[in-house]
Amino acid sequence: MKTYTLASVLVATLLVGACSRQEQPAPENPKAATAAQDFKRQHAEWVHERAADLGKPDGWTSLIGLHWINAGTQSVGGAEGNTIRLSIAPDRLAQLEQRADGLYLRPVDGAQISADGTPVQGEVRLEPEGKGGGTKLSYDEGKGQITAIKRGQRLALRVRHADAPARLHFGGLDFFPAEESWRVQARFVPHPAGRTLPIVNVLGEVADTPNPGYVVFEKEGREWRLEALGDPTKSLNLMFQDQTTSRQTYGVGRYLRTDAVAADGTVTLDFNRAYNPPCAYTDFATCPLPPPENRLAQQDDDRQLVRLAVVAGEKKYALAQH
């Protein structure tokens, strides 16, 4: 029969207690846990708001046409034989005329069209979309909407409808899981005043766009650079491509907006909020493309191409047809 001395019992008790303390995980930092939960919640709310905005009756998924305007008088309506045939509209809707002093539209007899909420009597001059907002025409009891846009020297009618198939079958958004590691601090480096950057859109048109500077950030042991558009005192607009482009993410590239640049020149880039341009959801948008400088690619010491894979933000749109 084995006997135990008081000393041996005390030693065993101390050893068991030590082992138990070693096996227990370190207590979680309550503040860190709360911050992580807030980050996930805020990101989920942002994604929800973005999806709701795309799916609005006049959101990007409601586009049903982009019709370039020729000289002379053109008929507008849903029936065959119209110069500009809308996919969802009454058979005969309006007459459109481009004159030297602007673009004018006159409803046909019996057609009910409003301009900025006021019923159109006679003809109305269409101001293109822009900083002033432009003229917004409504038809089909408000479900249809027509605006004019100007791209280069050309004018077009942009048409929306609440019953657009792309809106009725909107499939929602798909994002990479949000990770705080993709919320990186960057440094804004200003360019000389007045500098512009040529930005090409999907139509092949080029616009010299104000380019106030660029941002520099570190990721995966390297320093990366993105040219910025926008106003540093309000928000920067970054358009980029990366190693996931055309693979896991939209083939044109993605956009990212920031808050205002801080007084010390720092700015946060939350790549979790990188999002697709409107062209990912409709064929009737005229999206600007990321400039070549923003492909997030560089050569290593052996002159091999190295690309950053931004596995954060929005993925390809599941119902995209292109």
What mean pLDDT is predicted for residues 88-117?
96
pLDDT exceeds cutoff 60 at 7 = no
Spatial separation of the C-alpha atoms in residues 104 and 56, rounded to whole Å: 28
Q: Residue 256: name the closest of 230, 279, 281, 282 by CA.
A: 230
pLDDT 10s digits, 255-314: 999 999 999 999 999 999 999 999 999 999 999 999 999 999 998 877 889 999 999 999
Q: How far apart are CA 109 and CA 206, in angstroms?
A: 41
Please state, in angstroms and rounded to a whole number, the distance separating the CA atoms of residues 226 and 286.
Answer: 22
Counting residues of the chain whose pLDDT is more than 70, the rounded percentage is: 90
Least confident of 20-29, 156-165, 213-222: 20-29
If you search the block for the tokens 């492909």, which residue do you land on? 295
How many other CB atoms are there within 10 angstroms of residue 270's CB atom? Answer: 21
* Residue 133 pLDDT level (bands cut at 50, 70, 90): confident
Q: How far lies 320's CA from each of 108, 249, 278, 305, in Å? A: 36, 12, 11, 30
Q: Is 49 helix (H, G, I), strand (E, B) or coil?
A: helix
The answer to whether 96 touches 123, Cβ cutoff 8 Å, is no
Query: Percent of the chain scored above 90 by pLDDT?
Result: 81
Q: From the CB of residue 177, how many other CB atoms can be counted at a distance below 10 Å?
A: 10
Torsion of CA 243, 246, 250, 252, to 10 degrees: 90
Which ranges constitute the DSSP H helices of the chain?
A: 6-23, 30-54, 165-168
Q: Please give the domain boundaries of the chain with CATH numbers for all domains.
A: 47-53+170-307 (no CATH), 60-168 (2.60.200.20)
Average pLDDT on 167-178 reads 95
